[in-house]
Amino acid sequence: MGFRAAIRGVFPETRHQRDWVHKTANVLDAQPKSVHGRAKKALREMTEAENKAEAKKAINEFGVKWPKAIEKIVSDEEALLAYYDYPAEHWRHLRTTNPR
């Protein structure tokens, strides 16, 4: 947390991208195991959408299906979708901190 604060102090305009791999785990923890398969598919629709508008549409649809879990996404929505503001060829690498 101190590192992030230091970066913001030196580079105040830098945007933060939240990690979808860890966010997905947090969202699934808030749901019964019986819906994990469907929820994972819905989460992939958000992260692999054609553009930010389609990702937001997928978030809204997720909220209708699972209202208790949606707050975990909506609270970080701007940071979760920040990668859509960059060229598409970089999205795969910006979505997560996990190496692939």
Span 43-67, pLDDT tens digits: 999 999 999 999 999 999 999 988 8
56 falls within a domain: yes
100 falls within a domain: no
79 falls within a domain: yes
Number of structural domains in the chain? 1
Tokens of 15: 């945007």
75 falls within a domain: yes
In whole angstroms, give the CA distance from residue 45 to residue 4: 29
Q: What is the mean pLDDT of residues 54-81?
A: 92
Q: What is the mean pLDDT of residues 33-50?
A: 95
Name residues whose C-beta falls within 8 Å of residue 84's C-beta, 6 or more positions apart in sequence. Answer: 49, 51, 52, 55, 91
Domain coverage including residue 76: 2-94
pLDDT at 29: 93
100 has pLDDT over 70: no
99 falls within a domain: no
pLDDT at 2: 81
Name residues whose C-beta falls within 8 Å of residue 42's C-beta, 6 or more positions apart in sequence. Answer: 58, 61, 62, 65, 66
Whole-Å CA distances, 27 to 24, 39, 77: 5, 9, 13
In whole angstroms, give the CA distance from residue 80 to residue 94: 10
